[in-house]
Structure 1
Amino acid sequence: MQGYMLGNPITYDSESENLLDKINDFSKQNSADYHDGLLETDLSIYGRAYELVYSDTNAQERITKLEPEQTFVVYDDTIAANSLFGVRFYQISYSDSNTNSFVEVYTADRIYYYKSESSSFSSMTFVNVAEHMYNGVPINEYKNNEERLGDFESVLDGIDAYDLSQSELANFQQDMNDAYLVLIGNPVTGTAEPEYQKDEDGNPLLDDYGKPVLTANSSTSVFEDMKKARMLIMDNNSDPDGPNPNAFYLTKEYDSTGAEAYKKRLVDDILRFTFTPDTNDQNFAGTQSGEAMKYKLMGNDNLRKTKERLMTRGIMRRLRLLGNVWAIKNSVSTTGKQEGLYDLINDIQVKFTPNVPQNDEERVSQLKQLYGVISDETLFSLLETFTGVDADTEMKRLADEKQQDVDNFQEQTGYSQLKPDDGGVNG
């Protein structure tokens, strides 16, 4: 989902060019594309993700991802569920016997730091307090859904069953290598010579490796030679009522057809309940039309839109926190003060572009049919998905090209030097 949803960077649209430039500069300085991808990965795994909006030593606004296992946000009990404070707790091990614990509490205007010179969080010591200018809890929480569940948590039983079936197959393959050899009848094991060679005192002789030396043509020696040659020579059965000589490995029968069908059903259920298209399906891509592909991606696309709405809420809160600082610094020109910038941020459009294969030829053909029906700016916005050039830049390039053509024409013909009555037949 992370690559499908955020394979193309998030873009912003605003009526304020100054604000849009500020947001784009901030995104570049903080590698927001990569940062947003990390957030979506945490959302898919943990069902929630956290980021910290802070100012570095140069008073520049920054964002960083926090670990979901080490962060939480406390909200009030009103219907608006306003955030009261956020907590980040973590440990640093300086050696095997020296571990310190740290807790940071972020409120709407201050940060409280606590420390413990042990691995326990039960006895923390207050260190210091610092102020910040974000006018809100700077820990920003993102939700994957209202239940804060990861994408795979609803199918954990199916995943465990699939892992177990794969493990059983691996165990079966190992059991095949370790299977017992069953011998029916007596193998030809040579003469009745003593098993091991002995010295004058009757003690077994040892080789250079400390192992007893076998007597040539003894039962054990012959059997070892059979093992090395990977063959068995069986005696004829002297008992007419006894079993015929035989040798085989004792193994379980493996129903490969039934096992593969079971695993396929598990995979199909996992994909269906997580709204994930089967990219290994032979009918998934190939020569299918774009409309047919849309139907296959419909379930996944609906889930993507839900995730986009929830992520947009977090991104908008990020921008509002940044706007509070930008208003204080007066780094964005607006007609009003902080309220004016706040309103401009609320009007920002956050745009997600799914990363899906596109038929460029079909896309261009469709856009050609729209030429003259919609505005050029809208047309170039639609073209941006595979040209990578935004509408404003494309329109400026076209205007520059037209102006260059006019300049070249005037330079070649001297048309700009002509007076209105030049060239008349009557002079």
Structure 2
Amino acid sequence: MMSPDTFGNIGDNPTLLMSYVQDYISAFRSRQLGRLNELKRYYKGDNNIKYRKSDRDKHRADNRISSDWGKYVATFMQGFILGNPVQYQNEDDALIEKIETFGSQNNEDYHNGLIETDLSIYGRAYELVYIGPDGKEHLAKLQPEQTFVVYDGTIESNSLFGVRFYQVAYSQTNVKGFVEIYTPDNVFYFEGDESITSMSFIREEPLFLGAVPINEYSNNEERMGDYEAVLDIIDAYDLSQSELANFQQDMNDAYLTIIGNPITGTNKSEYQTDSDGNIILDTNGDPIPTDNSEGDVLEQMLKARMLILDNNNDPNGPNPNAFYLKKEYDSAGAEAYKKRLVADILRFTFTPDTNDENFAGTQSGEAMKYKLMGNDNLAKTKQRLLIKGFMRRLRLLGNSWGIKNSVSTATKIDSLYDKLNQTTIKFTPNIPQNDEERISQLKQLFGVISDETLFTLLSSFTGVDADDEMKRLQEQKEANMMAVADATYANSGIDQETPEQPSDDEE
């Protein structure tokens, strides 16, 4: 945050503003960047299990299996909320056409999916609305690891400016840092060293959007990712999977134990020494056993997966025996433990368990609603915050459209804003449905609700907008009436040929 008075005094001075931004970037890197990078690692399946310090014997298995729960949860949420494109609704058809044209030019459906994916991962997402060289409005997704917005301290929490910083490596030794500061009126460009501690002002470009063009989205009030609260449970699941793999591998390499033979090492010196009597270490810092010492013989037996135990101290003599030494594994208990971890991950991320035996397509729609209730409640919160961001995007576009149309009076500007604020955004969850049951229900509504409402509900099956469907029906009705009229006329026996016109003399 920054107080509005402070920004009012320095907002037009890029060098002075940059001195504050450097402090913000330093705080961002020290307090937030590590968390964001960790969340992205879990999305990519690069979990903490891969960096675990292990004290296992070097001759034993040390598997480190990473489960990609982060991507599973994020992909499910993204598909559930935005698997079907959002729909804009407004009484002004010209405005809707303009919004849809902008969406098609910028592949808005895909862009919105990227925004929701970032929300699931980081708990925040950023986009840049800008005017391209072609004079048209464009959208670009910004990386949360390289972007933040500074707000004022008022109750409204208005955005004062946005910052994007990044590094470019021209070579291993030549790395430069870049900073872009977006205010409501201008964008300032800076270039400097990799650490962004010494920056030089490069240039300034005007903006014509009337507000900070960086649009920030939040996943929730705490800006937490969808799977952030269960990272420790994911770690426990990874450990369980890894230990199971270790057990299976060690089972194949069980030790053959033979009782009744002595250790055959004859060298009394346990480790190799130099001329001064100092123990020689290997590249790992471990002492090197002397050939044919007891340690060396034991090392060779471990490599051979065989243990020979000395029983010569038995006064009754050795009792020869041979068996495989292995650890017993409670497979039933381990599977129950893993199932409990999976259930906790899904429960606390509000993700339905599609592998549940009771999660079947034969269940009624009402039963499925109860299973999806937790996910649906979470989706409602996410949708409200998405709508907040989408509406701010529309207002930024409205500023640009107003300037392009040479709006000269405040009344016209207010009128455009009023129309934009009347826009409603509809989400259609992407979930499996029983089409036969759904259509049967809609048939029962025929004559009870208006045709337009009915066709709106049917649009999810037909893929045709309600207005277009009503126009098609009207055209079909008119065509049928014309066909009936032609048939009736043809059956009347009246000569349909056009009579010859009389000549001028006959007249």
Per the TM superposition, whether the score is higher than 0.5 is yes
Give 2:184's match in structure 1, choosing from 108, 120, 143. 108
Tell me how far apart the structure 2 counterparts of residues 418 and 377 of structure 1 sit (CA, whole Å): 42
Question: Compared with structure 1, are the counterparts of its residues 103 and 335 closer, same or farther at alpha carbon in structure 2 (3 Å cutoff)?
Answer: closer
1:35 aligns with 2:111: yes
Return the match for 2:143 from 67, 87, 93. Answer: 67
2:417 aligned with 1:342: yes
1:12-411 pair list within 5 angstroms = 12-116=88-192, 118-185=193-260, 241-330=316-405, 337-411=412-486
1:234 paired residue number = none
Distance, in Å, in 2 between the alignment partners of 1:100 and 1:148 is 30
**Structure 1: runs of 5 or more not aligned:** 188-226, 232-236, 420-427
Q: Which amino acid aligns with 2:385?
A: L
Alpha-carbon spacing, 1:418–1:298, altered in 2? closer, same or farther (3 Å): farther
Opposite residue 130 of structure 2, the aligned amino acid is Y
**Aligned equivalents of 1:132, 1:9: Cα separation in 2:** 30
Quick one: which amino acid aligns to residue 147 of structure 1? E
Secondary structure of 2:150 counterpart: strand
Distance 1:274 1:331 in 2: 49
Residue 275 to residue 154, structure 1, CA distance change in 2 (3 Å): same
Match of 2:233, as an amino acid? Answer: G
Deviation at 1:291, TM superposition (A): 0.4
Query: How far apart, CA to CA, are the structure 2 residues paired with 1:254 and 1:242?
Result: 34
The corresponding residue for 2:277 is none
Pair 1:242–1:31, CA change in 2 (3 A): farther
Rounded to whole Å, the distance in 1 between the matches of 2:340 and 2:120 is: 23
Structure 2: how far apart are the matches of 1:418 and 1:97? 96
Distance 2:420 2:493 in 1: 52
The CA deviation string for residues 89-146 of structure 1, in whole angstroms up to 9 with x for no partner, is: 0111122222111100001111010111x32211111111101111000000000000
Whose Rg is larger? 1
**44-53 or 159-168: which moved more?**
159-168
Return the alpha-carbon distance in structure 2 between the equivalents of residues 160 and 282 of structure 1.
26
1:295 is displaced (CA, Å) by 0.5
Offset of 1:23 from its aligned partner?
0.7
CA separation in 1, counterparts of 2:438 and 2:167? 53
Instruction: Determine the structure 1 residue equivalent to 2:49.
Output: none
Which runs of at least 4 in structure 1 moved beyond 6 Å after TM superposition? none
Deviations 1:287-317 (A, max 9, x none): 1100000001011100000100000000000
Report how many aligned residue pairs link the two structures: 374
Letter in 2 for 1:390: D
Distance in 2 (CA, whole Å) between partners of 1:177 and 1:327 is 74
Deviations 1:377-405 (A, max 9, x none): 11111111222111111111111111222
Give CA-to-partner distance per residue, 1:181-225, whole Å, 9 cap, x none.
Answer: 2222359xxxxxxxxxxxxxxxxxxxxxxxxxxxxxxxxxxxxxx
Output the CA distance in 2 between the equivalents of 1:319 and 1:241: 93
TM-score for both structures, normalised by structure 2 = 0.69
1:43-90 CA-to-partner distances (Å, cap 9, x unmatched) read 001000000001111011010110001000011000000000000001
Name the Cα RMSD after superposition. Answer: 2.9
| SS of the residue 1:295 aligns to | helix
**Per-residue deviation at 1:240?**
10
SS in 2 for 1:80: coil
Structure 2 residue matching 1:374: 3-state secondary structure:
coil
Kindly provide the CA deviation profile for residues 232-265 of structure 1, in whole angstroms up to 9, marking residues without a partner as x.
Answer: xxxxx9x994454333332222111111111111
- The 3 A distance-change label for structure 1 pair 247 and 129 is same
What TM-score results when the alignment is normalised by the length of structure 1?
A: 0.82
Question: Structure 1: how far apart are the matches of 2:393 and 2:125?
Answer: 13
How many Å separate the matches in 2 of 1:179 and 1:129? 70
Amino acid at match of 1:326: W
For the residue of structure 1 that corresponds to 2:370, the secondary structure is: helix
With over 3 angstroms needed to count, the CA separation of the structure-2 counterparts of 1:418 and 1:81, relative to structure 1, is: farther
Q: Hey, what does 1:208 align to over in structure 2?
A: none
User: 2:328 is aligned with what amino acid?
Assistant: E
**Alpha-carbon distance in structure 2 between the residues aligned to 1:173 and 1:124:** 56
C-alpha displacement at 1:331, in angstroms?
9.3
The one-letter code sitting in structure 2 at the alignment partner of 1:67 is Q
- The residue identity in structure 1 corresponding to 2:182 is Y
Bigger mean CA deviation after superposition, 398-407 or 382-391: 398-407
Tell me by how many angstroms 1:408 deviates: 2.7
Give the letter aligned to residue 350 of structure 1. I
How far apart are the structure 1 equivalents of 2:349 and 2:85? Answer: 24
1:219 match: none
What's the offset of the Cα at 1:335? 12
* Structure 2 portions without partners, runs of 5+: 1-76, 263-303, 307-311, 495-507
- Work out the CA distance in 1 between the residues paired with 2:480 and 2:369: 43
Aligned to 1:11: 87
